[in-house]
Each structure stands twice: as C-alpha cells, then as structure tokens.
Homo-oligomer: A and B are copies of this chain.
Amino acid sequence: MTRAVSRFRPRLSDAGLSPTHAVIAVDEYNDQRDLSVAGEFPLTIKVDDREIVTLMTLGTHPETLTLGYLRNQRLIENLSDIVSVDVDWDREQVSVTTRPGTGVIDWEEKLSRRTVTTGCAQGTVFSCTLDKLYDVRLSIPRIRQSTIYALLRSIASHNEIYRQAGAVHGCALCRESEILMFIEDVGRHNAADAIAGQMWLDGINGGDMLFYTTGRLTSEIVMKVAQMGIPVLLSRSGITHMGLELARDLGVLMIARAKGRHFLVYHGHEHIEFDAKPTSKARQPGTGDQAEV
C-alpha cells in the first residue's frame, strides 16, 4: 500500500466487539434452532466532550469507524489534529481528543449547520460535506471486464458475518482484483466510513482503487466514495436516480447488479475493456435482483 513516510498516527483504543450473538429461534416446524444474529450497538461520537452523533454499529471497528465518520463528514481535516480515539462501550461512547487549539471557531459553525441536512439518505450529512464535495475531481482508470470477474470471485469468500448471521452489509477496498480491506456492519454507511478511517490512518490514496459494496448505490454512498477519492464503484445491488446523477457529476464509474458474470454499467462504460464477454446470451434480468438491499 502507498503510505506516507513517518506519518503521524493518533493513539487508538482496541475495543472491537465480537460481531455475532447466539440466540434461539423457532422455525416453521415449531422446532428450536440455534442461530447467530448480528450485534447492534449505539456509539456516540464525542470530540473534546462535544457530542457529534450517535451511530448504530456492529461494533467490530469502532475506532476506524469514528475516524472515517469525522473524515467523510469533513469535520476534521488533518489526522495530526487528533491525539486519541478512546472507545468506552460501558458508556456507549467514543471520546476523540484533538490537539489544543484545533479550529474551535470552525467547529461551532460546522455543528450549527448540521440541522440543514441531518438524516440525509439514512445517515447524517453535515452541510459542510456538500460544500466541499464538488472540489472532488476524479479520474476514472481503464478497467478490464476480466478484472471485475476476478474481483467478484475474491469477494465471495469474504462476507463471513453475513453468511453466519445476515443483517449486515459488506464494503471492500480493492486494487485490481486484490481485496485490501473488507468490513461488514449493520449500518449501511458505517462499513464505508470504517474503510475511510483506515485509509486515512494509513495514508492510502484512493485514486487507483475500486470500492465494492453489497448495498445499494444511493446518493450518500456515492458521495462518501467520491470523498474517499475512489473513482470506481461496484455494487451487488441496484442504484437510485440521484446516485446516478452524482456519479455523473463527480466522474465515478458506476457498476451495479454485479454478481457472477452479470453486471450493469450505469455510468462510464467507455472506461471498461470488454475482454471477457460471456459466451452464452442467456441473460439475467436487469432488475429485481434478489441480492437487493
């Protein structure tokens, strides 16, 4: 991975939770079944004792989730402004401590403007995020169809929590067909934020990366991926019209319904080299995919 030399890293706690819980259910035969379900916990992010937001999370990557949230919302610009990230599950909170004097006036302004777009696309978008979004200019690399297929094969072995307990979404950061990170969470956007946090921590540039998600490509996920500087977005599920419009505006290659040998390119197909077209013309339907989210 591309890492900056002698990069500053904040001190992080190591409070990741186990993702699943054993429960007993009764099936359609009235028989008891031992099953696993995904955890879901509130985590309130506090920066220097100021409450920012409460996220509901699986809890496996609380520190990088916190960093990625702050990064994707553009609430803190420089990693070196963060001294520490301490998760305390008993109090259901994570305390972020910044360097003394880190833009206090700016904070007041950012938080006051939250009311404008709170709740946007099932998450919380601060208006300062939107202001800076159109500064992002992405350059789409050339991508081979055979690479997409190799990537989809690699992904299939990663969604462990989903296969065990369901009720989570997975997101992956990939270079070519190599999966660099794969994170699952009950919150659709938390997995993306946790990846953003790890990228920030490691100084990884998204410019030659590809972002995969099992979730839908709505406006908010397209925004987050563009914020992360990643120009290629691949989903197992469908898209919304606003997600597509943002992908066009920001220059993101948008591939959806990617599963097996099937995919649909909604924006940027001219960047794909079709070097592995399937031989059979027995097409799958383009919509109503059962993997929908």
Contacts and interface: CB of A to CB of B under 8 A. Distances in A.
A37 B241 contact: yes
A242 interface: yes
A2 interface: no
B265 A26 contact: yes
A161 to B, nearest CB: 10
A167 B238 CA distance: 5
A186 B243 CA distance: 11
A162 B28 contact: no
A277 B242 CA distance: 45
Contact of A38 (B119, B122, B238): B238
Interface in A279-293: 281, 283, 286-293
Contact of A264 (B21, B26, B244): B26
Interface in A167-222: 167, 186-189, 216-220
A145 to B, nearest CB: 7
Nearest to A41: B242
Given A163-B287, A292-B166, A145 B54 contact: no
A45 to B, nearest CB: 9
Contacts of A116: 44, 51, 54
**Chain A: interface size category:** 35 or more
Given A27-B263, A37-B266, 13 more contacts: A23-B241, A23-B266, A25-B264, A26-B264, A28-B262, A37-B239, A40-B242, A41-B242, A114-B118, A122-B189, A163-B288, A166-B237, A167-B216
Contacts of A261: 28
Interface string A45-62: 000000101111000000
A141 interface: no
A26 to B, nearest CB: 4
A124 to B, nearest CB: 4
A36 interface: yes
Contacts of A115: 51
A27 B292 contact: no
A242 B287 contact: no
8 contacts: A27-B286, A28-B274, A40-B243, A51-B116, A162-B292, A167-B238, A186-B218, A290-B291
A120 to B, nearest CB: 5
